């Protein structure tokens, strides 16, 4: 961390435990520069490395990155091939570095739609880093929030049948969240979306029910430590009420 980092002034209790990011704007970043979209995606991969490093230095425990949605398969075939190529490159080149820095890599999403060699790279990376505890990086691949909830509901129903549990609300509040793809991880404190778009695009729908939403006009390839610090500074100004009455006595 740089000596002038604003985060140095933030105590550990003020650092959000879990930050989720919708990495948006690679294509527009490239278009603005008269470059092919593939160059935007490559620079976006570099931004992932910067942000993972910055988040670890700041003390974030969980970082969840929306890498490829279940809807992204509708993109042009050549663009999908480029994205999968970059994913392979990232897993091959960064896994060892993550391990050296005591960072765990975890992938959420439906793997059965990914190519076999990519699944193997994911499994190898997860196995190598499974006991690391400095930070967990979740990469969402072929992920959709609605499917996440539906699959969790199916698991919950099977759990109730197999264990003869009455599926009441109290039991569901206790066990259901653990059946989501994020498992027992804490829900995100912040959801950041880059590029100026202001929607959550089927990402962590259950988990982000009470996340603070921060939208930035910065395209993802330009996003870095200062932008992450600014988002955390904005988060610190928010009053998180989780549905309760705030300090002002207003619940709006």
- CA 223 distance to own-chain centroid: 15
Q: What is the pLDDT along the chain (252 residues), one digit of tens a residue?
A: 444 455 554 555 589 999 999 999 999 999 999 999 999 999 999 999 999 999 999 999 999 999 999 999 999 999 999 999 999 999 999 999 999 999 999 999 999 889 999 999 999 999 999 999 999 999 999 999 999 999 999 999 998 899 888 878 877 888 889 999 999 999 999 999 999 999 999 999 999 999 999 999 999 999 999 999 999 999 999 887 666 656 555 454
Rounded to whole angstroms, what are the CA distances from 247 to 210, 214, 241, 242, 244?
17, 22, 9, 12, 10
Pair of tokens at residue 153: 């509901």
Model pTM score: 0.89
CATH C-level class of 15-144+187-236: alpha beta
- Residue 96's contacts (CB-CB under 8 Å, 6 or more residues apart) are 128
Distance CA 72, CA 26 (A): 14
Q: Parse the chain into domains and list their residue ranges.
A: 15-144+187-236
Chain-centroid distance of CA 83 in Å reads 17
Write out the catalytic residue numbers.
Answer: 24, 72
């Amino acid at each position: 961390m740089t000596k002038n980092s604003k985060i140095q002034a933030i105590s550990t209790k003020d650092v959000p435990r879990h930050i989720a990011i919708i990495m948006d704007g690679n294509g527009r970043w490239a278009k603005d520069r008269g470059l092919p979209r593939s160059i935007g995606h490559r620079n976006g991969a570099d931004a992932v490395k910067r942000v993972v490093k910055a988040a670890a230095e700041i003390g974030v425990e969980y970082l969840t990155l929306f890498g490829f949605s279940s809807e992204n398969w509708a993109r042009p075939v050549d663009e999908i091939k480029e994205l999968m190529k970059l994913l392979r490159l990232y897993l091959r080149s960064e896994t060892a570095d993550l391990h050296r820095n005591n960072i765990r890599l975890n992938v959420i999403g439906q793997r059965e739609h990914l190519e076999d060699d990519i699944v193997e790279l994911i499994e190898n990376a997860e196995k190598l880093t499974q006991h690391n505890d400095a930070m967990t990086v979740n990469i969402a691949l072929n992920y959709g929030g609605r499917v996440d909830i539906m699959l969790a509901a199916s698991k919950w129903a099977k759990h109730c049948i197999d264990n003869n549990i009455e599926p009441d609300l109290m039991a569901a509040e206790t066990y259901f969240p653990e059946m989501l793809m994020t498992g027992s991880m804490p829900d995100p404190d912040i959801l950041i979306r880059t590029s100026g778009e202001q929607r959550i695009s089927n990402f962590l729908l259950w988990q982000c029910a009470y996340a603070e939403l921060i939208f930035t006009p910065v395209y993802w390839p330009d996003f870095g430590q200062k932008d992450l610090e600014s988002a955390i500074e904005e988060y610190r100004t928010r009053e998180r009420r989780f549905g309760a009455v705030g300090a002002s006595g207003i619940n709006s």
